Amino acid sequence: MAAAALAAKLAGLPIAITLVESDEIGTVGVGEATLPHIRAFNLALGIDEAEMMRATEATYKLGIEFCDWGRRGDRYIHPFGDFGPTTNDVPFYQYWLKLRQSGDRSRIDEYSYPVIAAEQGRFRRPSGDLDAVESTFGYAYQFDAGLYAKFLRSFAEKRGVSRTEGRVVRVVQDGETGFVRDVVLTNGTTISADLFIDCSGFRGLLIETALQSGYDDWSAWLPCNRAIAVPTQSNGALRPFTRATARTAGWQWRIPLQHRVGNGHVYCSSFISDDEAHDQLVAGLDAPMQAEPRRLSFTTGRRREFWKKNVVAIGLAGGFLEPLESTSINLIQDGITELLAVFPDKGFGARDIAEYNRRIGLHYERIRDFLLLHYVATQRDDSEMWRHFRNLRLPDSLSERIDAWRTRGHLIQYEFGLFLSPSWVAVFLGQNLVPDRHDPRVESMSIDALTARASDVRAKVDAAVRRTPEHTAFIRESGGAARLAVAGA
């Protein structure tokens, strides 16, 4: 992603880009699900959606389904969209809280077009008519990250990126400044550069091994440290959403692509053995495995400095947050976007670096809080892990947010961060954290007027979803189908 984006954005400038990549090193395979921001990334690169979808076996994505999080048996979808319209400056969910208190049993989901469309396996792109219910959502993709990397590699090479096959075996630093001067590859080739972007994954070959940036370990808050990933055969119609099912010591993902389903189990080794984790994963699969499971381990947290001297760590080299909300690829994108925003000159200004680190640090911190919310906004206490979270001291930023929500459904606002208010609402309500009271301003609307209004919103959502094509059919019609060897599709 970094090579492709820099190739596109720096095209025409006297800047040569070299990509050092080794076929010996596989990609992690975690994070095949994306967030709507990926569309802006592709658009900025001039990537054709249908072509990208065919090349990566992609499906469309309207949100993430969370199963068994609030309580066993519960499920909700965190959609890429809002719930109902804001009225008199008060968000719709506040009115819904009043409805609920008056005995109305409608689900908040019924006021969200993307939730209902996802539940029914339907998809269309958002309408440009801002008055239409069909304009109230965004969408992303579920794709094969390995194929996406190949697609972008070819994109980058066509735009002049020179790719060198090989593994970095030595990093040469300037004796005086400590800046990285060269990297030496297995075959003895030396590659020099002014700026190095470290996309070497967890170990952070340049940022950590060479420059010793340091790591803020967040496993006290997010203790999951292992994952097992396994593909299975496609099974039934393609769902336009990713699923994350809570387990006793972590959670399991299911990401439907055109040619297979990506699955995995993220867990904490303090609460479950690797073998048990494997068994839980396999027991939770809904189709035969296509390959042997692959194992990964990681430590949640972030580099103290994402950018140090002339090295910028992007993606897993910069930090790791479990992909519960599909943030891994998004964090790569953020790293690239912010790097382009403060792209350095050869002087490597300290302020540029500080600003980059400030911006990315804020993204990490706010995503961390949002992920942690899933573990603590729960009634589960049926295993050691869930009991661990019950007794956890939360970061102040999160506990104040939960407090404000629980007391009155108030959402503490921020401007810079990935997950904005509707996402917090989805998880809070989806995991049964219903506020004690609602905003007093909603009392200005009578219960009869509110009931009629709510029924109207539901009817509009329902009618709009009925008009929406079936997901698989939409992929075919929009030219995104690679082969779609899907039964019944």
Partner 1 sequence: MVCGGGLAAWMTVATLARHLPDTVRVTLAEIDSDHRCADLFYGTVSGPGSYAFNLAAGVTEPALVLGSSAAFSWGSKYVHWAEGGRSWIQCFNLALPVIDGVLMHQYLVQQGMTRLDPFLLGAVAGSRGTFAHPPRSPGAAGQQPLARAEYGYHFDPASHARCFAAAVPPGRIHHLKGALTRVAVGDGAITGIALDGADMVTADLYLDCSGPSAELLSRLDPAWLGGRALQISADDVAEARLGPPVRSVSFHDKGWAAQTPLRGSTRSLTVSDATASCNARGGLSASATLGRRQRAWAGNCVGIGHAAGIVEPLTPAPMMLLERDIERLMTLIPVSTASMTVEEREYNRRHGEDHHHAMRFTRALLETSALPDSDFWRAARDTPDAELEHKLAMFAERGLLVSYDLEPFHPEDWLIMHFGIGRRPRRHDRLADRADAKRVRRYLDDAAQQVANAAAALPSNHVYMTQLERYLRQDPRK
Question: What gap in Å lies between CA 155 and CA 268, rounded to an integer?
Answer: 38
Using the rule CB under 8 A, which residue among 184, 289, 404, 418 binds partner 1?
404
Segment interacting with partner 1, rule: CB under 8 A, options 116-124, 164-172, 249-257, 432-440: 432-440
168 is in an annotated binding site: yes
110 has binding-site annotation: no
Q: Is residue 453 a contact residue for partner 1 (CB under 8 A)?
A: no
Q: Interaction with partner 1 in 350-389: which residues (CB under 8 A)?
A: 351-352, 354-355
Q: Name the minimum Å distance from CB 396 to partner 1.
A: 11
CB of 401 to partner 1, least distance (A): 10
Which residue among 48, 274, 400, 462 contacts partner 1 (CB under 8 A)? 400
322: which residues sit within 8 A by CB, 6+ positions away? 222, 224, 227, 266, 300, 371
348 interacts with partner 1 by CB under 8 A: no
Q: What is the spatial distance between Cα 280 and Cα 272, in angstroms, rounded to a whole number?
A: 10
Nearest to 488 by CA among 118, 234, 144, 124: 234
Among positions 252-311, residues that touch partner 1 (CB under 8 A) are none
Q: Which is nearer to partner 1, 246 or 377 (CB)?
A: 377
User: Residue 452 interacts with partner 1 (CB under 8 A)?
Assistant: no
DSSP H or E run through 226: strand 226-232
- Residue among 39 and 107 whose Cβ is closer to partner 1: 39
10 binds partner 1 (CB under 8 A): yes
In the complex, what is the shortest distance from the CB of residue 469 to partner 1, in angstroms, rounded to a whole number? 27
* Per-residue exposure over 20-44, b if at least 16 CB sit within 10 Å of its own CB, e if not: bbeeeeebbbbbbbbbbbbbebbee
Report DSSP letters for 232-284, one per residue: E---SSPPSSEEEEE-SSEEEEEEE-SS-EEEEEEE-TTTS-HHHHHHHHHHT
Whether residue 276 is annotated as binding a ligand: the answer is: no
- Helices 350-376 and 328-341, packing angle to 10 deg: 160
Q: CB under 8 A: which stretch of 10-18, 111-119, 204-212, 255-263 binds partner 1? A: 10-18
Give 382 or 436: the residue with its C-beta nearer to partner 1: 436
Burial of 413 (C-beta count, 10 Å sphere; 0-12/13-18/19+):
exposed
Radius of gyration of the chain (CA): 23
Closest approach of Cβ 418 to partner 1, in Å? Answer: 14
Active site residue 61: yes
Q: Which of 124, 302, 438, 460 touches partner 1 (CB under 8 A)?
A: 438
Distance CA 456, CA 460 (A): 6
What number of chain residues touch partner 1 (CB under 8 A)? 38
Are 352 and 342 in contact by the 8 Å Cβ rule? The answer is yes
d(CA 239, CA 90): 33
Residue 120: CB minimum distance to partner 1, A: 31
Closest approach of Cβ 200 to partner 1, in Å?
A: 25
Phi/psi of residue 79, nearest 5 degrees:
-90, 160
Q: How many CB atoms lie within 10 A of CB 271?
A: 20
* 329 assigned to a ligand binding site: yes
State the Cα torsion 150-152-154-158 to the nearest 10°.
-170
Q: Closest CB to partner 1 among 68 and 439? A: 439
On whether 322 is known to bind a ligand per the annotation, the reply is no
Footprint of partner 1 on 55-114 (CB under 8 A): 88-89
The single residue of 9, 61, 308, 460 carrying the catalytic annotation is: 61
In the bound state with partner 1, the residue whose beta carbon lies nearer, of 169 and 362, is 362
CB of 145 to partner 1, least distance (A): 25
Q: Least Å distance between CB 44 and partner 1?
A: 6
In the chain, what is the straight-line distance between the N-terminal and C-terminal CA atoms, in Å?
A: 31
Bridge partners, 226 (sequence order): 267, 297
Nearer to partner 1, 402 or 426 (CB): 402
- Binding flag, residue 414, partner 1 (CB under 8 A): yes
Among 26, 160, 349, 479, binds partner 1 (CB under 8 A): 349
> Which region, judged by CB under 8 A, interacts with partner 1, from 167-175, 295-303, 431-439, 456-464?
431-439
**Residue corresponding to tokens 């209902």:** 116
Asked if 334 and 3 count as a contact pair (C-beta separation under 8 A), the reply is no
Half-sphere exposure of 324 (CA within 13 A, CB side): 27
Bridge partners of 288, per DSSP, are: none
Range in contact with partner 1 (rule: CB under 8 A) among 139-147, 175-183, 279-287, 437-445: 437-445
Give the annotated binding-site residues for FAD. 168, 316, 329
Q: Known catalytic residues?
A: 61
Give the annotated binding-site residues for L-tryptophan. 325
Give the annotated binding-site residues for 7-chloro-L-tryptophan. 61
Footprint on this chain of partner 1 (rule: CB under 8 A): 9-13, 15, 44, 88-89, 340-343, 345, 349, 351-352, 354-355, 400, 403-404, 407-408, 410, 412-416, 436-441, 443-444
Give the annotated binding-site residues. 61, 168, 316, 325, 329
